[in-house]
Amino acid sequence: MHAMALRALRVRDPEHKCECANRLLEAWRAGDLQLRDDDPPAERIEIPGRPARPALVRPQELPRRGLHTERGRQALLHAIAHIEFNAINLALDAVYRFRGLPAEFVSDWLQVAAEEARHFRLLSRRLEESGCDYGSFAAHNGLWEMAVKTDADAMQRMALVPRVLEARGLDVTPGMIRRLDAAGDTASVAVLEVIQREEVGHVAIGSHWFRFLARQRGLDPEATFLDLLARYMPGRVRPPFALEARLAAGFSRREMEALAGQAGE
C-alpha cells in the first residue's frame, strides 16, 4: 500500500496522477492492497510529482487580478486548481507517510485524494473552456512547504494543513462564488459549489484524525490546536470565518471563539 501511494505521489502528469488516485481507492476498497509492517520507513519528499508548469514563485510575486475580466477569472480558477492538485499530493503523502494508524485513516485519505482529483479535473476542464490550461499562470508552493514542515508528526499535519490551510477555503470560497456570479460566470460558480460542499468533508476528516491523535497522546484537542497555531502560524488565521461550514467540518465553538478572539473580532 505505502509503495503504491508513493508511486502515485511521484507521478508528474496531472491527468495520470488523478487516474492513479482513483485506482488506488478502488483497489483499496476491493481489498487488493494491504498495509505491511515490513515496508521501508517513509522518506522526506522535498519535491512531489508535479508538472514543469506552473512556475512557482513567492506568494508576494503573484499579481492581484479582478474578476471583472476573463483573465482575472482564469487566474482565480488556476489558483484554485493549483490548490486542488497540491491537495491530491497531500492526501497521498498522508497515506504513504503516517504509519501505525487504523485502516480507516488510509480509507479516509484515499477518498480525499480521489475527490481532490475530481475537483482538479473539474477546474482543469473549466480552464480549457475559458481558453487556457493548468500551468498558464504562476503559482506558489505554500501548501507543500507546510507538508514538509509537518512530515515528522501526523498530529501536526492534521492540525496545520487540513484545519488551517485547507479550512481557509471554507472561509473564502463563498465570497468567490458571489463575485463570479455577479460577473455572470455561472459555469465556474457550479464548479466551486461542488468543491465547497466536499471540502467541508475533507476538513472534517482532518479534524477527526487530529482529535484522535491528540487524545491518543493524552492531550486536550482544543488546547493543543490553539497551541500549535500560536507556535507555528501566529497571526496567520484571519477572518472572515465561515462559522457554519467550520462547525460542520469539526471545529468546536470554543475553537471558533478563540480564533475570532486572536483575530480581534
Looking at the 3D structure of the chain, how many domains does it have?
Answer: 1
Find the CATH number of the domain harbouring 67: 1.20.1260
Q: Angle, nearest 10°, between helix axes 253-262 and 221-232?
A: 20
Cβ atoms of 36 and 1 closer than 8 Å: yes
Residues 185-207 have pLDDT tens digits of 999 999 999 999 999 999 999 99
Look at residue 234 in the predicted model and tell me its pLDDT: 83
Look at residue 39 in the predicted model and tell me its pLDDT: 85
Residues 142-171 have pLDDT tens digits of 999 999 999 999 999 999 999 999 999 999
Look at residue 264 in the predicted model and tell me its pLDDT: 61
* Statement: residue 251 has pLDDT above 70: yes
Q: Angle, nearest 10°, between helix axes 14-29 and 103-130?
A: 150
**Could you give phi then psi for residue 139, rounded to 5 degrees?**
-150, 175
Residues 55-64 have pLDDT tens digits of 999 988 888 8
Look at residue 202 in the predicted model and tell me its pLDDT: 98
Residues 106-120 have pLDDT tens digits of 999 999 999 999 999
Share of the chain above pLDDT 70, in %: 99
Domain span holding position 21: 2-262
Cβ atoms of 7 and 21 closer than 8 Å: no
Look at residue 263 in the predicted model and tell me its pLDDT: 63
Mean pLDDT check: name the lowest of 67-71, 147-151, 214-218. Answer: 67-71
Cβ atoms of 174 and 115 closer than 8 Å: no
Q: Can you say whether the dihedral through the CA atoms of 187, 193, 196, 202 is positive or negative? A: negative
Look at residue 64 in the predicted model and tell me its pLDDT: 83
* Statement: residue 265 has pLDDT above 80: no
